[in-house]
Amino acid sequence: MNIEWNHFKTIADGEFCEIEGINIWEYKWKSDYETIFVKDPLYGETKSLNRFWIELPNKKVEFVAGEFSNCVWGIYTKTKKGTEIENNRKIYKEIKGFLDKYFPENYTESKEYDECFHITVYTQEKEESSVWFEFDIGNSELIVGYGISHIHYGKQYGIEISEGLNRLLDFFTAKMKRTDYYKGKVNFKNVYEMKTENGTYENLGTNSILLLYPFWKKATKKITEHSELIKDKNIKSELKKIREQINNVC
């Protein structure tokens, strides 16, 4: 059953029905005939209806509708959860569209399961410099990472998704650094950092080996710096528009 839509009204054909301040019968309905499965509020049966929308100069009014019986209509509107999921879809499409437009050779995408996508983004250094994110659209959960270091975002983690999406866009425009620490030939610790606007590095996370390693051997370290994915000012300007959209809808 689709959790994005709630039963709003059961009405006769042409009966007044106000959604978002308008009577839906006074406007032309548009549809791509997407099938939505909903629950009949009276009998509990599964109904197969269609999604419709009305386009106004300043907004689009969406609803699901269909005849329960001759000239008797069931009307469904988006739940709060449904609106959240739709916003997640829009933002994901914006980010993926941005990557398709400017960096089609610099990322890979995989579908983990229904409406959960994993994208890895590379700079010129390729696999050695992967920034990645996994977006579970339906559950409103986002993971943003650089190398092994990563953070979970979502209400269930006490951190808004918008914060994670903004951090992801920061990764696109900042220089990154990974420091590998060794005892002999054993890599026992990795530190991931991002260069900030004032020239200092922000620690993004540390990964350490908890098992035994030759601690008595001489410690050495290897620093790998990765260039920013985006340097062009015009492309950064377009990324700024995506950031504004994120802050408006998430």
Q: Residues 74, 86: one domain?
A: no
Among candidate residues 78, 112, 142, the one where a domain is terminated: 78
Q: Residues 210, 143: one domain?
A: yes
Of residues 229 and 62, the one with the higher pLDDT is 62
Q: Residues 142, 237: one domain?
A: yes
Question: In this model, does residue 198 exceed pLDDT 70?
Answer: yes
Closest CA to 228 of 179, 178, 170: 170
Which 3 state secondary structure label does DSSP give 93? helix
Q: Residues 49, 130: one domain?
A: no
Say which range, 2-6, 47-51, 84-88, 114-118, has the weakest mean pLDDT: 2-6
Q: Residues 47, 139: one domain?
A: no
Per the structure, the count of domains in the chain is 2
Question: In this model, does residue 195 exceed pLDDT 90?
Answer: yes
Output b/e per residue, 137-168; b: 16+ Cβ within 10 A: bbebbbbbbbbebbbebbeeeeeebbebbbbb
Among candidate residues 78, 108, 130, the one where a domain is terminated: 78
Return the DSSP state at 116: E
pLDDT interval class at 192 (50, 70, 90): very high
Structural domain span for residue 188: 82-249
Question: In this model, does residue 124 exceed pLDDT 70?
Answer: no
Distance of alpha carbon 33 from alpha carbon 52, whole angstroms? 8
Q: Residues 72, 103: one domain?
A: no
Q: Residues 95, 191: one domain?
A: yes
Closest CA to 170 of 220, 234, 121: 121
Check residue 1 and give its pLDDT: 58
Q: Residues 112, 61: one domain?
A: no
Distance of alpha carbon 194 from alpha carbon 197, whole angstroms? 10
Q: Residues 142, 227: one domain?
A: yes
Of residues 171 and 213, the one with the higher pLDDT is 171
Distance of alpha carbon 91 from alpha carbon 86, whole angstroms? 9
69's tokens: 């019986």
Question: In this model, does residue 145 exceed pLDDT 70?
Answer: yes
Check residue 129 and give its pLDDT: 57
Q: Residues 61, 151: one domain?
A: no
Q: What is the pTM of this model?
A: 0.71
Distance of CA 123 to the CA centre of its chain: 21
Q: Residues 64, 86: one domain?
A: no
14 conformational bin, left if phi > 0, alpha if psi -120 to 50, beta if neither = left
Which 3 state secondary structure label does DSSP give 246? helix
pLDDT, tens digit, 9 for 90 and up, residues 1-53: 567 898 999 999 999 999 999 999 999 999 999 999 998 888 888 999 999 99
Q: Residues 94, 209: one domain?
A: yes
Among candidate residues 57, 78, 99, the one where a domain is terminated: 78
Of residues 120 and 212, the one with the higher pLDDT is 120
